[in-house]
A and B are shown apart, each in its own frame.
Chain A
């Protein structure tokens, strides 16, 4: 399968980019960052090619197996990285923290079975590409929000304890990390909302009911409430900084449960996530 070959190539490039980002973190040489970003972008290109080939092969978006969903998520995270590189606050060391996550996701995707899974007729619907891709895209934003939150807490610790050494100098101003967190949330939350709604509409078409409380749906709703609360507090009460960072990390933990634990271990309608 050529798409797997290209995915493996992308994995290698992501690995090289990760090393480049680490070298940048250590030396702070702008050339290292530039190099790492170009390699990361090249990996993204091959990854895109791999996903396109898989879409053609399956005649459906490559998001219906656990392999496909993880691969697509990793792709979206890289996309969000470049989106924020162009449009967001300057966080030069974001790649150092984000690239390993991408590497891990692609690794997991390649370890999980990727044989073509035939789509049950019940699930064939035009809603499928919308529901799945939009939900995964929102996860990508939340993942970046969590990484920004982690970097925020790390940097805040340096400032509070007056440890103004290497890590302090390599991490950006607290304000930039908080802005990154906020921006991710503002893009991620509407996407998650649309993802859940399209899922409900699709469920109505397939099974005649909008909501059937299967574990995936329940956990997604919990996720939605966490991010809704965070966004509300941010906009209305003015939460920021430490609390916002902690909430983003909490959301990340819930997401891990909903994505890995629920998909792989609990039975339900979202059995795309079955390992086999």
Chain B
């Protein structure tokens, strides 16, 4: 037997790039009765540790096992049974990663580098939740505990040391970022929603959470305005009252279905002086456009249409991709660190065995010698104990150092050498009688 760690990491999963939604939805196993981690513990005992992540864009299993191939096959069988798909139907969509590949993948996922929207932050929360779930079901052990905690700090490091999350990559969020660049803080500002629509409502939501104090809603059908106003705890107006609304608002989001301009230069110009030249930021996400482009020429008035915002998003995505390359360098560094830790874990049992063997010999020899030495005071006995312990420790110092350092250079070979030289696995004791004869002959020759 060879010493060291035989547990290996196995990551099996699929995501938005590898699998269509028809397959992904079948894999949302946690929503179908028994939790997949419970199933694994029951039916796949080869996996000593397990973690399961499921989001709308990915499903991943991370397992620690000594029998990689067997576990993989077992997992696939379980997946076929639980998803109701044949192996041929899902296997092409699966990715299977081992050891450091798996570690790297986990780090990248948690840092948002593998997400559909590059660098999005929600995934870290989902990874944390998945870990909590696994810890609660007691399917994690020393390796996954360590790995997941590393993952959280790697994701945090990527977020603080790169700008991966600092550029808005959705139209509604880009609008809020722009508003901040005009008004500084949005606290106490008033926003006006003209018309409705998913993107407009999302932007309104973002504005409110950025500190906008009051929401005005103007709509062609007044009942719809009232409904929206209630949702945002704002005030409802009809479209005829638009000039009054514009007088009050600082930020306008327009998304009506009107065929022509709803807000023209003529609407806004007379309001400027009454507004005391307060800046006015208009966001036009309607197609065809709601706001006449010439409004942008008015003093302290800024108009952005959907194409402007999309361009901002596009540029920001480019910046995030650049930051992602820096993030990958950080991750490479962290993968190496984890690998080192894992290797030290592999060396550890050998060190322990070495110490135990030495201690056993020391005790045996002490027990044999002490009764023969009479007239020993307790102090003398104590001194002997200390001396023999010191001899053992000093002798072991070099091989342990050799294990720790040599492991980084030579890997398992260092462990094997030490185990053989010190006969930690008892191979020499179980030798065939002839061999023992030859060996002891050699020994007596030396005597």
Contact = CB atoms under 8 A, between A and B. Distances in A.
A98 to B, nearest CB: 20
Given A160-B296, A164-B315, A238-B277, A174 B182 contact: yes
A175 B277 contact: no
B280 to A, nearest CB: 11
B276 A162 contact: no
Nearest to B179: A173
Interface stretch (B89-97, B300-308, B320-328, B431-439): B300-308
Contacts of B273: 237
A238 B265 CA distance: 21
Contacts of A175: 182-185, 279
A164 B312 contact: yes
Contacts of A172: 184
A5 interface: no
B311 interface: yes
Contacts of A89: 184
A176 B184 contact: yes
Nearest to A175: B184
B277 A243 contact: yes
B299 A241 contact: yes
A241 B276 contact: no
A270 interface: no
A238 B181 CA distance: 21
B308 A174 contact: no
A237 B275 CA distance: 10
B189 to A, nearest CB: 10
A178 to B, nearest CB: 9
Contacts of B178: 159, 164
B185 to A, nearest CB: 8
A165 B181 CA distance: 13
A240 B277 contact: yes
Nearest to B308: A162
B278 interface: yes
Interface string A158-183: 01101011001000111110010000
Contacts of A241: 277, 279, 299-300
B180 interface: yes
A129 to B, nearest CB: 39
A160 B302 contact: yes
B184 A239 contact: no
Nearest to A168: B181
Contact of B181 (A160, A174, A243): A174
Contact of A237 (B181, B276, B299, B304): B276
Contacts of B308: 162
B300 A240 contact: yes
Nearest to A240: B277
A174 B182 CA distance: 5
A173 B296 contact: no
A240 B279 CA distance: 9
A173 B177 CA distance: 10
Contacts of A159: 178, 181-182, 302
A242 interface: yes
Interface in A204-240: 237-240
B3 to A, nearest CB: 47
Contacts of A174: 181-184, 279
B184 to A, nearest CB: 4
A173 B180 contact: yes
A241 B279 CA distance: 8
Nearest to A236: B276
Name the residue among A89, A162, A240, A243 with the largest chain B CB count within 10 angstroms.
Answer: A162
Contacts of A242: 299-300
A116 to B, nearest CB: 49
Contacts of B183: 173-175
Nearest to A173: B184
A240 B315 contact: no
Nearest to B275: A238
A173 B178 CA distance: 9
A173 B311 CA distance: 20
Interface in B154-183: 178, 180-183
Interface string A51-88: 00000000000000000000000000000000000000
Nearest to B180: A173
B181 A173 contact: yes
A226 B184 CA distance: 28
Given A173-B183, A175-B183, A176-B184, A239 B277 contact: yes
B278 A238 contact: yes
A175 B182 CA distance: 6
A168 B312 CA distance: 12
Nearest to B305: A162
A22 to B, nearest CB: 20
Nearest to B274: A238
A167 to B, nearest CB: 12
Interface in B263-298: 273, 275-279, 296
Contacts of A176: 184
Nearest to A169: B181
Contacts of A238: 275-278
Nearest to B304: A162
A108 B300 CA distance: 37
Nearest to B316: A164
Contacts of A239: 277
B311 A162 contact: yes
Contacts of B181: 159, 168, 173-174
Nearest to A164: B312
Contacts of B180: 173
Nearest to B163: A28
A165 B311 CA distance: 11
A172 B180 CA distance: 10
B184 A240 contact: no
Contacts of B315: 164-165
18 contacts: A159-B181, A159-B182, A162-B308, A162-B311, A164-B178, A164-B315, A168-B181, A173-B183, A173-B184, A175-B182, A175-B185, A175-B279, A179-B184, A239-B277, A240-B277, A240-B279, A241-B299, A242-B300
Given A160-B302, A164-B178, 10 more contacts: A159-B181, A159-B182, A162-B304, A168-B181, A175-B183, A175-B185, A175-B279, A179-B184, A238-B277, A242-B300
Interface of A: 89, 159-160, 162, 164-165, 168, 172-176, 179, 237-243
Q: Which 7 A-B pairs have CB atoms at the shortest separation, nearest pair first?
A: A238-B276, A175-B184, A173-B184, A241-B300, A162-B308, A175-B183, A173-B181
